[in-house]
Structure 1
């Protein structure tokens, strides 16, 4: 067996299918997208090379920058609202134990199992200005209850609430798994030392969850950039591009306005932003080894 796996031809034959899949399913489409980003192309006929014109147009495209602003707002909502709540909920579920733990874990994850189309139409009924649940609750507490939740001023906040709520289950489940993987001996030692639950969470759970937080935050930022299905079904970017997101705008330009070259330019910028975001977040969460500096200070003191 060892002789077989040391044979270069055998190694190449085992690696080749994966390389071909990577090339044709990932690398080739990216290269084609980069090429079409430099062309004027409707998706049919011949593509005309126009250089950087699509990217110059993109820099002055108000709808594109509105979509980036909305993606940034969603990323902030994920990181500052959804994730802290998801982590606290995961910690409470871990302490809950028994049947209640399994029950609430399933309840929180149900929205992620339901079809996106069902979720979008459910929230459309909730937000309906005439007979929606939200306005009826406001009326029950003495308010007017005639708010148009999808007006130009309110639409983006209404969409953000849906997106933050819908993604809560995934974030909670990832944090829950991370907490479950922490050695319970550490909690037992903290309890013996007299640490309360708040101190245990801040001094043990939070530091040891750093790799999980890094993955979750990176996924949240990328998810905020590529939001489409829910936005498309709720508002399709309207009214007046006030709820436009990058992925939805790309779809509109490439497949509805038949500006395939321009849509690919948006896709290339989108990929670059995702790569930069991932690198920056990895740098932020990077473990800094300060042992050489400490050793140097000790040597100087001696």
Structure 2
């Protein structure tokens, strides 16, 4: 194996199919998208080149793009600061649930594998103004004055959307942390207990540092996914009311396919790719840490 890996020609031939597929599926579409981002094409017919006018318009006069970027950042912060710490805590607790461990593991992960359409419509029903479960519960407990048009109010809609998105993705975050925790050798726990460490000390001083590689991957995936959210937001609010729940992907879709500003939409898509790449590099460098072997 070492002899094969030291032969650059062999390594290149082995990598070539994957590189070609990557170029066809990723690089070429991005290049084409950048090409159209320099035009005023509406999706059909003729078009002309406008240079970087679309990019200039995005930064100079498009307040909704700024709002969509802010919402994506808010979701990213929610995932990093709320969802993932909670997922780590639940993953640590579930392993001590004995015979209920497998059942809890399945129940926590189920929302992540159910159809996005189904779970989204479930939440739409919960937030419904007239027949929604949330307003009914508030009425039952004597807090009917707290009832709101949750998805129809700009002040509450973005919070509801972020809540649903964090709930939907919680299972994936949990299962990765749970797998990392279960991979910690029992010998380490026994040695820590012999040294007088409590269960809490073992989890937070030994297990948590060993989860750094998993934590790094999960955090990067979480932030990148925050910028790519589309289906759930579209089904919940379609970016409304008054564009208060626009995310970068939904705004891109709206510009390209609803307003027939295909060139403008491609400019947003290029910025989306650039932001995801920059965030990935920054987070990887910020969280870079050498972790010793078990």
In our comparison, the structure showing a higher alpha carbon Rg is 1
The 10-residue stretch of structure 1 (229-238 or 88-97) with the greater mean CA deviation from structure 2: 88-97
Q: In the aligned structure 2, how far is the partner of 1:5 from the partner of 1:172?
A: 36
Residue 147 in structure 1 maps to residue 148 in structure 2 = yes
1:239–1:3 distance in 2 versus 1, CA, 3 Å: closer
Distance of 1:12 and 1:157 partners within structure 2: 49
Distance 1:8 1:78 in 2: 42
Give 1:4 shift: 10
Q: TM-score, normalised by structure 1?
A: 0.89
Q: Which position in structure 2 is the counterpart of 1:42?
A: 42
Partner of residue 108, structure 2: 108
What is the SS of the residue equivalent to 1:153? Answer: helix
The alpha-carbon distance between structure 1 residues 136 and 194, as it changes in their structure 2 partners (threshold 3 A), is same
Label 1:7 to 1:79 Cα distance change in 2 as closer, same or farther (>3 A): closer
Distance 1:283 1:11, change over 3 A: closer
Q: Secondary structure at the residue paired with 2:18?
A: helix
Q: Which residue of 2 aligns with 1:127?
A: 127
What's the offset of the Cα at 1:5? Answer: 10
Contact 1:4 1:10 (8 Å CA) reproduced: yes
Aligned match for 1:275, one of 268, 274, 277: 277
Contact 1:235 1:243 in 2 (8 A): yes
Q: 1:245 aligned to 228, 244, 247, which one?
A: 247
Q: 5+ unaligned residues in a row in structure 2: which ranges?
A: none
- Whether the 8 Å CA contact 1:36–1:47 is kept in 2: the answer is no
Distance 1:205 1:182 in 2: 7
Task: Please report the TM-score for the alignment, with normalisation by the length of structure 2.
Answer: 0.92
Corresponding residue of 1:191: 193
The answer to whether residue 117 in structure 2 is matched with residue 117 in structure 1 is yes
Range 14-23 or range 179-188, more displaced: 14-23
Q: Give a deviation string over 1:179-218, Cα, whole Å, max 9, x none.
A: 1111221111111111112211111011111111111110
**Paired residue secondary structure (2:260):** coil
Question: After superposition, what is the alpha-carbon deviation per residue over 1:19-47, rounded to whole angstroms, capped at 9, x for unaligned?
Answer: 33122111110111111111111122233
Cα distance, 1:146 vs structure 2: 3.3
- C-alpha change, 1:196 and 1:236, in structure 2 (3 Å) is same
Using the TM superposition, give the Cα deviation of residue 287 of structure 1 relative to its aligned residue in structure 2, in angstroms.
2.1
Instruction: Determine the C-alpha separation between the residues in 1 that align with 2:7 and 2:177.
Output: 43
